[in-house]
Amino acid sequence: METAAELLGALPLDEVPVPLRRFARFERRKRAKLAGQHIAALLERDDAFRARVGEAGREAHPELAAAVTEGHVPPAADPVVVAVLGYLLRPDGWPDLVENARAELERSASLSEGERAERRIAELRAELTAARAGRGAELERVRGELREA
């Protein structure tokens, strides 16, 4: 959406697809937000518009676009950009590229959740250890007071 929204602002008004002309003068983020559904629908049904947006994506990410087109995506590539380029450029097997990128994002999200859970467990263990140490010190203090009494 961002690439298409940016392109809309750069095109002469007579080259902007008719359904999107009313959004062309908006600021890029506002265009993406307000015209998002219209852009998505047009990308799906208008091959020429999708190709034009794909070329903008290719210019923005030339090496990755070449890799996506050839079907050799680098493992460290941003899965969102891979999915976008796959969808826009439509190389052979593009649905698999998009699905693999989605699965990678899901894996990353799960890993992040797992990492957060591990950190929280470590924090709670540290709190428990500190509480036990504090309890032990308090117990020794009270025992000392009892001996003196």
pTM of the model: 0.69
Same domain, 56 and 96: no
Write out residues in the chain with pLDDT < 50, as ranges. none
Residues 56 and 72 in one domain: no
Dist. CA 3–CA 117, nearest whole Å: 35
Task: Give per-residue pLDDT as tens, 8-29.
Answer: 888 888 889 999 999 988 888 8
Residue finishing a domain among 60, 85, 103: 60
Domain encompassing residue 105: 68-149
For residue 80, give every residue at least 6 positions away whose Cβ sits within 8 Å of its Cβ, in sequence order, or none: 101, 105
Same domain flag for 45 and 85? no
The answer to whether residues 40 and 80 belong to one domain is: no
13: which DSSP letter?
G
Q: Are residues 30 and 92 part of one domain?
A: no
How is residue 135 written in tokens?
Answer: 């309890």
**Do residues 72 and 143 both lie within one domain?**
yes
Domains identified in the chain, total number: 2
Give the pLDDT of residue 95: 96
Give the separation between CA 43 and CA 5, rounded to whole angstroms. Answer: 11
Locate tokens 């250890």: which residue?
Answer: 129
- Residue 100: the pLDDT is 92
